Structure formats: C-alpha cells, structure tokens
C-alpha cells in the first residue's frame, strides 16, 4: 500500500520501522475462507478487500500469486528482482557481471565461475 509493491525493500527491517506502514498494522485483519483453503495445494488462492473510510469496498481475488509456476514472472521482472536483492551485497559492476555470466551458464564447465564473481564483486 505504501510503496506500491511487495518487493524486498517494502518488507525489510527498514520498512517495518516506517511510521506510515506501522500506522496501517492495526487496520489489517486476516481470516481464513474455507472455500479458498479447499483449493490448496493445486492453487494458492487469496482475496483482499480494501475498505475505505467512506465505507466503499474494493475486492480482488487471485488463484495463484505472481511468481508462481502458474503465474510466472517475465524475464525482465526476474532480472529486476535479482538486481534489487543483490544490490545490498554486490557492487553494480558485480551485478552486471553475474547477469552476463548467468546468461551464458550453459557454457560453464563449473559453478566456480559464478562463485569467483560473487567473491570478487561482494561489497565490503
């Protein structure tokens, strides 16, 4: 709600300290819907209802979350997620080098190439 996404930076420890996010905690309520639970494990359904101050409600339901094998991320979304997750621990040059290496992983003779890049480009 606050950051417009559920990426790592929206869920990390820093985000948990955000006063705007903290202010929403008491307004979130979760309940089980046995009809949705019955669809598990074939699906991983969820329903969210947002109730506005004026009483209007908006509901969205999905059978499977983004990133699941039934609703996969695009190649570009996977790259963006990698970059976001790698940024705290790898240099920008390292992120680019690892992306390039993974693009040609079929040519590796060993995973050592990736391990060497990770060691070489880690942030101190």
Whether the bond into 41 is cis, omega within 30 of 0: yes
> Nearest 5°: phi and psi at 123?
-75, 145
User: What are the structural domain ranges in the chain?
Assistant: 8-62, 75-121
pTM for this predicted structure: 0.73
Q: Can you read off the two tokens belonging to residue 123?
A: 């942030």
* Separation between Cα atoms, residue 37 and residue 92, nearest integer Å: 42
Q: Where are the beta strands (DSSP E) in the chain?
A: 46-51, 57-62
- Encode pLDDT of 62-101 as tens digits: 999 989 999 999 999 999 999 999 999 999 999 999 999 9
Q: Can you read off the two tokens belonging to residue 74?
A: 């695009």
94 neighbors 122 (Cβ within 8 angstroms): yes
pLDDT band at 124 (very low <50, low <70, confident <90, very high): confident
- Provide the pLDDT for residue 63: 96
């Amino acid at each position: 709600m606050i950051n417009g996404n559920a990426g790592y930076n929206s869920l990390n420890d820093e985000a948990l300290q955000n006063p705007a996010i903290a202010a929403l905690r008491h307004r979130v309520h979760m309940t089980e819907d046995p009809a949705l639970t019955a669809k598990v494990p074939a699906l991983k359904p969820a329903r969210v209802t947002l109730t506005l101050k004026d009483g209007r409600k908006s509901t969205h339901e999905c059978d499977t979350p983004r990133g699941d094998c039934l609703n996969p991320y695009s190649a570009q979304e996977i790259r963006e997620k990698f970059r976001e997750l790698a940024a705290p621990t790898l240099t920008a040059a390292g992120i680019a080098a690892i992306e390039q290496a993974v693009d040609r992983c079929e040519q590796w003779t060993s995973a050592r190439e990736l391990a060497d890049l990770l060691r070489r480009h880690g942030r101190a």
